[in-house]
Structures are given as C-alpha cells and as structure tokens.
C-alpha cells in the first residue's frame, strides 16, 4: 500500500516539474532600422494579459509559458511584429516605421485616440513652421502658432 502512494507521489512530482520546466525567461532588445533602441515598446504574449514594456535602452524581459507562445511587439507609429519564441532565450527585434499608422493616431494630454473617434478641437503646427523658426525650448516653438492655444 505504501509503495502505491510513493509511486503516485513520484509521478505527481515529475509531472509538476515538467510543467515548470516549460516556463522560460526571454530577454531581448527592440531597435529601429538604424539601430536606435526604442523605449516604451509594448511586449506581450499573444492571446493573454501577460506583457511588459521595454526600458530606456529598449531592453525587455518576459516569462513565457511554452515554446509555442508568440510574442507581440507594438509601438505607436511602427508596424506590429509577432514572432514565436521556440527555444530562444534572447529575441532581438527590429521594428519598421509605419507612416500610415502615425497619421491616424492623436496623442493627447491624458492618453491617445484614433483621429476619427476624437470629437474635440484639434490644432496642429506644421513641421515647416517649426523649421523656419527653431527654438531651444519646445514651448517657445509652438507659442503663437496655433489659434486659441495659450502656452
């Protein structure tokens, strides 16, 4: 009778170890085409709520549950990128800019929204206007350029 419990216990122990053995830590760096690191990139596991954000050097670290997990990299103004982890412990990614997506997103003082969903007033300053009168301070650059905006 004791032998049966010992075998059951050992089997349970082995199954538990194999479950934990599948979890692995994945690290990496997210960069642009020119090698510039990207801080603030969202890194998540597809179809889960598990995720993280890259640090100031574009580096991230995330624990995946299995080699079949797919990492999803998203960042405003860049093309979404997905890759399966496999047996890799280091996954370095290069994100490509998307000029189409950047034109559709508005960054506002308390978040972001799609342009078509925004119902408020919008004022913008063209980069040509900024280039004609460069300033050291960003506030001085936009001051007096957008009607009705007090800076």
The DSSP result for 21-36, as a single string, is HT-EEEEEEEE-TTS-
Interatomic CA distance for residues 73 and 110, integer angstroms: 23
Is the pLDDT at 10 greater than 60? The verdict is no
pTM check: above 0.85:
no
Residue 17 and residue 5: Cα distance in Å, rounded?
A: 18
Mean pLDDT score of the chain, rounded to an integer? 78
Q: Which one is predicted more confidently, 117 or 53?
A: 53
pLDDT in tens, 66-97: 889 999 999 988 889 999 999 899 999 999 98
| Domain regions of the chain by residue span | 2-97, 100-142
What's domain 2-97's architecture? Sandwich (2.60)
Please name the helix (run of DSSP H) or strand (run of DSSP E) that holds residue 7, with its range, or none.
helix 2-21
Cα Rg of the chain (Å, integer):
24
pLDDT at 53: 93
Lowest-pLDDT choice from 4-8, 20-24, 84-88, 115-119: 4-8
**Among 20, 53, 59, 17, which Cα is nearest to 37's?**
59
Q: Which of 1-5, 29-33, 80-84 has the lowest mean pLDDT?
A: 1-5
Q: Which tens digit of pLDDT belongs to each residue from 106-127?
A: 566 666 666 666 666 667 777 7
DSSP β-bridge partners for residue 25: 63
Note the Cα 109 to chain centre separation in Å: 20
The whole-angstrom separation of Cα 147 and Cα 140 is 15
Q: How far is CA 135 from CA 125, 129, 130, 146, in A?
A: 14, 11, 8, 16
């Amino acid at each position: 009778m004791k032998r049966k419990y010992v075998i059951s216990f050992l089997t349970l122990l082995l199954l538990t170890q194999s479950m934990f053995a599948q979890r692995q830590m994945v690290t990496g760096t997210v960069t642009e085409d020119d090698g510039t690191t990207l801080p603030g990139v969202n890194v998540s596991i597809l179809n889960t709520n598990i995720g993280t954000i890259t640090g100031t050097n574009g580096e991230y670290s995330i624990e995946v549950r299995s080699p079949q997990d797919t990492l999803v990299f998203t960042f405003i103004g860049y093309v979404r990128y997905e890759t399966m982890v496999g047996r890799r412990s280091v996954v370095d990614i290069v994100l490509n800019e998307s000029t189409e997506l950047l034109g559709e997103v508005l960054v506002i003082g308390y978040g972001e929204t799609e342009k078509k969903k925004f119902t408020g007033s919008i004022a913008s300053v063209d980069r040509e206007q900024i280039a004609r009168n460069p300033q050291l301070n960003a506030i001085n650059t936009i001051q007096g350029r957008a009607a009705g905006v007090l800076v």
